[in-house]
Structure 1
Amino acid sequence: MSTNIAYVDPDALIDYAAAIFEKSGLRAEDAKVVGEDLVIANLRGLDSHGVSRIPMYLERLRKGVVKAQPDITFEKKAGAVGLVDGGDGMGFLAAHRAMDEAITLADESGIGMVGVRRSTHYGMGALYVLQAMRRGYISFAWTNSSPAIPVHGGRTTFLGAAPFAAGIPGGSEAPYVLDMAMTVIARGKIRLAAQHGLPIAEGLALDGDGAPTTDAKKAFEGVCLPFGGVKGSALSMLMDLMCGALTGANYGGQVKSLYFDHSEPQNVGHMMIAIRPNLFMPGDDFAARMDDFVQRAKACPKAQNFDEILMPGEPEERTTSKRSISGVPITAHVLAELKHESDQLGIRAIKASDMPFAAA
Structure 2
Amino acid sequence: MAEEAPKVLVRHDDAEAFVVNLLVAVGVSAKHAQTIAHGLVQADLRGVESHGINRLPSYLARVRNGVLDPKAEPELTQVTPVVAQVDGHNGFGFPAAHLAMETAISMARTFGIGMVSVKHSNHFGMSAWLVRQAVDAGMMSLVFTNSSPALPVWGGKTKLIGVSPIACGAPGGENSVPFILDMAPSVAARGKIYKALRRGEKIPMDWALDADGKPTDDPEKALQGVMLPMGGPKGSALAIMMDVFSGVLSGSAFAGGVTGPYDMSKPGDVGHFIIALKPDLFMSLEEFKQRMDILYQRVVGSDKMEGVERIYFPGEIEQLTEARRLKEGIPFVQSEIDALDAEAERLGVAKIRRGL
Quickly name the TM-score band, shorter chain normalised: over 0.9
2:235 counterpart of 1:236: no
Q: What is the distance in 2 between the residues matched to 1:3 and 1:137?
A: 40
Unaligned runs of 5+ in 1: none
Listed as ranges, the matches of 1:93-242 within 5 Å are 93-172=95-174, 173-242=176-245
Decide whether the 8 Å contact of 1:144 with 1:160 is kept in 2: yes
Listed as ranges, the matches of 1:306-317 within 5 Å are 306-317=308-319
User: 1:69 — aligned with what?
Assistant: 71
Q: Alignment length, in residue pairs?
A: 352
TM-score normalised over the length of structure 1:
0.95
Decide whether the 8 Å contact of 1:278 with 1:286 is kept in 2: yes
1:311-349: CA deviations, max 9, x gaps? 000000000011111110011111110111111001110
User: What one-letter code is carried by the residue in structure 1 that aligns with 2:160?
Assistant: F
- Shift, 1:20, TM fit: 0.7
User: 1:267 — aligned with what?
Assistant: 269
Q: What is the distance in 2 between the residues matched to 1:337 and 1:298?
A: 40
2:302 counterpart of 1:300: yes
Unaligned runs of 5+ in 2: none
TM-score normalised over the length of structure 2:
0.96
- Shift, 1:55, TM fit: 0.3
Q: What is the distance in 2 between the residues matched to 1:112 and 1:3?
A: 46
- Shift, 1:284, TM fit: 1.1
Aligned-CA RMSD value: 1.2
Paired-residue identity, %: 41
1:287-306: CA deviations, max 9, x gaps? 11111111122222111111
1:196-226: CA deviations, max 9, x gaps? 3322111110111222212111001211111
TM superposition outliers: structure 1 runs of 4+ over 3 Å: none
Decide whether the 8 Å contact of 1:194 with 1:220 is kept in 2: no
Q: What is the distance in 2 between the residues matched to 1:3 and 1:205?
A: 24
- Shift, 1:309, TM fit: 1.5
**Local SS of the residue matching 2:86:** strand
User: 1:81 — aligned with what?
Assistant: 83
User: What one-letter code is carried by the residue in structure 2 that aligns with 1:183?
Assistant: S
User: What one-letter code is carried by the residue in structure 1 that aligns with 2:15?
Assistant: L
Decide whether the 8 Å contact of 1:104 with 1:112 is kept in 2: yes
**Local SS of the residue matching 1:253:** coil
- Shift, 1:71, TM fit: 2.5
- Shift, 1:4, TM fit: 3.1
Q: What is the distance in 2 between the residues matched to 1:227 and 1:179?
A: 14
User: 1:249 — aligned with what?
Assistant: 252
- Shift, 1:78, TM fit: 2.4
Decide whether the 8 Å contact of 1:146 with 1:254 is kept in 2: yes
Decide whether the 8 Å contact of 2:43 with 2:51 is kept in 1: yes
